[in-house]
């Protein structure tokens, strides 16, 4: 199985900050990497697919980059509604594994 | 708009089975594969399997082999996930999630999600 490791596990930031979350795959997944946002008590929301493509309706302050084994999710200017947990997920090979999540908290 | 509405919470005893439903609306049901993903309390997300909403073919994660059954009813635009031989480790919120790629292709991304169904396994 491909292991997905996110860092950090949590971070504290203020509104307006630039935030970067890293995701590393245990094997080459090319750009088969997706990002989701989850708020407490809610289902995940699809943010970015294939490493860098923004899902329709997602604000442009979200961006993704990377290929191979190393990927990043960047929020250019953190908004109050962005405080949530973020998950990366590989869609290269089964089982389609997720990272353990990065919780973005208010400083 | 796409809507996935799941059945309500369940409490089951160890060894029992549970069947969760997911009713789709707002798109052509048979045009998109459907996945099942679960999340144990306070934990991350785990992909369980995928079903072809048109033909009914399924593929599941090896971890659930022999315990998971996914079916669909095209007349009601509903998919079902049944998990058997439940243990406390199966206590989780179970989500259905649509694959965004239309037709016979599927990309193993999840663009729309149900609200989740909490399954609690307890004696």
Give the tens place of pLDDT for each residue, A41-80. 999 999 999 999 999 999 999 999 999 999 999 999 999 9
Task: Confirm if A11 and A84 have CB atoms less than 8 A apart.
Answer: no
Q: Report d(CA A67, CA B58) in Å as an integer.
A: 29
- Asked if residue A12 has pLDDT above 90, the reply is yes
- Specify the pairing of strand B3-6 against strand B18-25: antiparallel
All residues of chain B having their beta carbon less than 8 Å from the beta carbon of residue A89 are 45, 47, 109-110
Cβ separation B63–A95 shorter than 8 A: yes
The per-residue pLDDT for B98 is 98
Instruction: Give helix then strand counts, H and E, for chain B.
Output: 0, 11
- Exposure class string for B42-72: b at 16+ Cβ within 10 A, else e: eebbbbbbbbbbbeeebebbeebeeebbbeb
φ/ψ of B32, rounded to 5, equals: -135, 135
Nearest chain A alpha carbon to B63? A95
The per-residue pLDDT for B90 is 98
The per-residue pLDDT for B56 is 95
Cβ separation A95–B107 shorter than 8 A: no
Give the tens place of pLDDT for each residue, B40-86. 999 999 999 999 999 999 999 999 999 999 999 999 999 999 999 99
Q: Report d(CA A91, CA A13) in Å as an integer.
A: 29
Q: Alpha carbon A92 to chain centroid distance?
A: 16
DSSP H or E run through B46: strand B45-51
Percent of chain A with pLDDT over 70: 100
């Amino acid at each position: 199985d491909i292991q997905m490791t996110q860092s950090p596990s949590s971070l504290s930031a203020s509104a307006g900050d630039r935030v970067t979350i890293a995701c590393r795959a245990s094997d080459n997944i090319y750009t088969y990497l997706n990002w989701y946002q989850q708020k407490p008590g809610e289902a995940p929301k699809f943010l970015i697919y294939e490493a860098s493509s923004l899902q329709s309706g997602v604000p442009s302050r979200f961006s993704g980059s990377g290929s191979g084994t190393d990927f990043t999710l960047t929020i250019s200017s953190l908004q109050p509604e962005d405080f949530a947990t973020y998950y990366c997920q590989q869609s290269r090979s089964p089982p389609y594994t997720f990272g353990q999540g990065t919780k973005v908290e208010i400083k | 708009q796409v809507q996935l509405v799941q059945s309500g919470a369940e409490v089951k005893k160890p060894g029992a089975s549970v069947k969760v439903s997911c009713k789709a609306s707002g798109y052509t049901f048979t045009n998109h594969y459907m996945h099942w993903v679960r999340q144990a309390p306070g934990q991350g997300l785990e992909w369980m399997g995928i079903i072809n909403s048109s033909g009914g073919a399924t593929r599941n994660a090896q971890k659930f082999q022999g315990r998971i059954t996914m079916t669909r009813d095209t007349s009601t635009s509903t998919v079902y996930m049944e998990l058997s031989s439940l243990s406390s480790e199966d206590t989780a919120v179970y989500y259905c999630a649509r694959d965004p790629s239309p037709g016979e292709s599927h990309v193993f991304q999840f663009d729309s999600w149900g609200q989740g169904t909490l399954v609690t396994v307890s004696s």
